[in-house]
Amino acid sequence: MKLIMSLTSPFARKVRIVMAEKRIEYEPVVDIPWDAGTHVPDFNPLGKVPVLVLDDGHTLFDSRVIVEYLDTITPVSRLIPEENRPRIAVRRWEALADGVADAASAIFLERKRPESQQSREWIARQEQKVQRGLEVMADELGDKNWCTGEFFNLSDIAVGCALGYLDLRFPEIEWRKAHPVLARLADKLSQRPPFKDTLPPAL
Ligand code: GSF
């Protein structure tokens, strides 16, 4: 199996952590979607990473579909509950975390444009999504050990990747100070080897 990825993508990191937690072997293929010679569109018409390329050539995207597939191919470390209500709760956490990462990624992209072409309104709109998302994450985590309660699962991986992406791209957003419960979770996650081994390279 090949994972087409970038070292900074929070969505690719989520997949890489799932693979490590479930002991799934894969070949990483770094391909930056914005590079002139990228081959990402040949594997994903949406031109986004991550993309999982199976041994028979079949491709899977986006990261949510990839992690759902990975959780089904081996019983090692189940990360998505099978029962309906707990499963939906985990997927909703993943949607919230991925949405924060999406909004942060949109700000990062907008800031790559020439200053005169950047939309203040657009950036402000995305910043509000990030802030509201962080508030809801902190509120719903509360003093629980993990996002959905007593067990570590995909929701914690998704939240950890979104928070790590904010650290990478927006150190000025002091989410640890604003939300100590998120800082506690992030510190616990950062001790896990899959998180240590996928830390984005310091820019
Ligand atoms: C989002 C992937 C994505 O935005 C998923 O896999 O969950 N819903 C998708 N990837 C970015 C890189 S990064 O911000 O993670 C990407 O590949 N952008 C290239 C582009 O052309 O937007």
Domain ranges of the chain: 2-73, 84-192
Query: Tokens at residue 80, please?
Result: 């998505």
CA 80 – CA 82 distance, rounded (Å): 6
Q: Residue of the nearest CA to atom 12 in ligand 1? A: 9
Q: Which residue, 64, 80, 66, is CA-closest to 1?
A: 66
CA of 144 to the centre of ligand 1 (A): 30
Per-residue pLDDT of the chain (203 residues; tens, 9 = 90+): 999 999 999 999 999 999 999 999 999 999 999 999 999 999 999 999 999 999 999 999 999 999 999 999 999 999 999 999 999 999 999 999 999 999 999 999 999 999 999 999 999 999 999 999 999 999 999 999 999 999 999 999 999 999 999 999 999 999 999 999 999 999 999 999 999 999 998 75
- Hey, what amino acid is at 72? T
Choose which CATH entry (3.50.50.60, 1.10.1040.10, 1.10.10.10, 1.20.1050.10) describes domain 84-192.
1.20.1050.10
Specify the pTM. Answer: 0.97
Choose which CATH entry (3.40.30.10, 1.20.210.10, 3.40.50.300, 3.40.50.720) describes domain 2-73.
3.40.30.10
* Closest-lying ligand 1 atom to the alpha carbon of residue 101: 14
**Of 17, 34, 40, 49, which is best to mutate to test ligand 1, by the most ligand atoms within 8 angstroms of its C-beta?**
49
- DSSP β-ladder status, 59-60 and 2-5: unpaired
Give the pocket of ligand 1 (CB within 6 Å).
Answer: 9-11, 33, 47-50, 62-64, 98, 105
CA 69 – CA 72 distance, rounded (Å): 5
